[in-house]
A and B are shown apart, each in its own frame.
Chain A
Amino acid sequence: MKERDELLDKYSAKVFKNRKQHITQLEFGEEADTITANTRAVPGSMTARGCCYAGCKGVVVGPMKDVAVITHGPIGCAFYSWGTRRNKAKSDPESDNKNFIPYSLCTDMRPTDVVFGGEKKLEQAIDEVMDIFNPKCMMICSTCPIGLIGDDVQAVARRTEQKYGIKAIGFSCEGYKGVSQSAGHHIANNGLMRYIIGTGDKKPKNNFSVNILGEYNIGADGWEEERILKRCGIEVTSVFTGDGSYETMKNAHLAGLNLVMCHRSINYVAEMMKTKYGIDWIKVNFIGVGATCRSLRMIAKYFNDPALTARVEEVIAEETAAISEDMAYYKSKLSGKTAGIFVGGSRSHHYQLLLRDLGMETIMAGYEFAHRDDYEGREVIPFIKSDADTKNIEEITVQPDAELFQKRYTEEEIAALKADGVELDTYDGMFKDMKTGYMVVDDYNFHEVDALGKSMKPDIIFSGIKDKYSTMKDGVGSRQIHSYDYSGPYSGFTGAVIFAKDVVMALYTPTWGLVKAPWKNEPLLTGTLTGGEA
Chain B
Amino acid sequence: MLDMTPKELKERKGITINPCKTCEPVGAMFFALGVHKCMPHSHGSQGCCSYHRTVITRHFKEPAIATSSSFTEGASVFGGRSNLTTAVKNIFDIYDPDIIAVHTTCLSETIGDDVGSYILDLEVPEGKLVIHASTPSYEGSHIQGFSNMSMGFINYLTKKTDTLNGKTAIFPGWVNPGDCREMKRIAAEMGAEVTMFPDFDGTMDSPMTGKYEYYGEGGTTIPEIQQMGDSENLIALGTFASGESFHLMRKKFKTEGMLLPMPVGITLTDKFVMALRTLTQHEVPKSLEQERGRLVDMLMDAANYTYHKKAAIYGDPDVVYAMTSLCLEMGMIPKYVITGTPKSEFEKQIKELIASYSIEEECVVKADTDLFYLHQLIKNEKVDIMIGSSYGKYIARAEDVPYVRAGFPVLDRYGAPIQTICGYTGGVYFAEKIINALLDRFDRDVSDEDFECVL
Residues of A within 8 A of B (CB): 10-12, 15, 40-54, 70, 73-84, 91, 97-100, 102-111, 113-114, 121-129, 131-133, 143-145, 147-149, 175-181, 388-389, 392, 446-447, 450, 464-475, 515-516
Taking a contact as CB atoms closer than 8 A, the residue among B4, B25, B90, B107 that contacts A145 in the complex is B107
- CB interface residues, B 42-63, toward A, < 8 Å: 44-48, 50-55, 57-58, 61-63
Taking a contact as CB atoms closer than 8 A, the residue among B65, B68, B106 that contacts A47 in the complex is B68
Taking a contact as CB atoms closer than 8 A, the residue among B52, B54, B62, B340 that contacts A84 in the complex is B54
Closest to A128 in B: B15
Closest to A132 in B: B6
Q: Are A12 and B107 in contact (CB under 8 A)?
A: no
**Is B301's CB within 8 Å of the partner chain A?**
no
Taking a contact as CB atoms closer than 8 A, the residue among B51, B75, B208 that contacts A515 in the complex is B208
- List B contacts of A44 (CB < 8 A): 41, 67-69, 86-91, 94
A497: min CB distance to chain B, Å: 25
Taking a contact as CB atoms closer than 8 A, the residue among A51, A97, A98 that contacts B46 in the complex is A51
Can you identify 11 A-B contacts, CB atoms within 8 angstroms?
A44-B94, A51-B46, A74-B137, A75-B23, A80-B54, A144-B105, A145-B107, A175-B71, A466-B50, A469-B63, A516-B210
Q: Are A49 and B46 in contact (CB under 8 A)?
A: yes
Q: Given known contacts A43-B69, A44-B41, is B75 in contact with A176 (CB within 8 Å)?
A: yes
- List B contacts of A123 (CB < 8 A): 14
**Is B355's CB within 8 Å of the partner chain A?**
no
Number of A-B pairs whose CB atoms are under 8 Å? 265
Taking a contact as CB atoms closer than 8 A, the residue among A10, A97, A180, A470 that contacts B94 in the complex is A10
**Is B445's CB within 8 Å of the partner chain A?**
no
Q: Are A104 and B17 in contact (CB under 8 A)?
A: yes
Closest to B340 in A: A75
Q: Are A76 and B211 in contact (CB under 8 A)?
A: no
- List B contacts of A133 (CB < 8 A): 4
- List A contacts of B1 (CB < 8 A): 102
Taking a contact as CB atoms closer than 8 A, the residue among B15, B41, B67 that contacts A105 in the complex is B15
- List A contacts of B48 (CB < 8 A): 51, 76, 175
Give A97 to B3 CA distance when docked, in angstroms: 9
- CB interface residues, B 121-168, toward A, < 8 Å: 136-139, 141
Which one of B10, B47, B209 has the highest number of Cβ atoms from chain A below 10 Å of its Cβ? Answer: B47
Q: Are A128 and B12 in contact (CB under 8 A)?
A: yes
Q: Are A80 and B55 in contact (CB under 8 A)?
A: yes
- List A contacts of B13 (CB < 8 A): 121, 124, 128
**Is B188's CB within 8 Å of the partner chain A?**
no
Which one of A47, A79, A91, A475 has the highest number of Cβ atoms from chain B below 10 Å of its Cβ? Answer: A79
- List B contacts of A42 (CB < 8 A): 70, 86, 90
- List A contacts of B63 (CB < 8 A): 466-470, 473
Closest to A179 in B: B72
Give A133 to B12 CA distance when docked, in angstroms: 13
B264: min CB distance to chain A, Å: 25
A16: min CB distance to chain B, Å: 10
Closest to B108 in A: A144
Taking a contact as CB atoms closer than 8 A, the residue among A11, A79, A126, A129 that contacts B93 in the complex is A11
Taking a contact as CB atoms closer than 8 A, the residue among A41, A46, A127 that contacts B65 in the complex is A46
**Is B221's CB within 8 Å of the partner chain A?**
no
- List B contacts of A103 (CB < 8 A): 2, 4, 17-18, 372
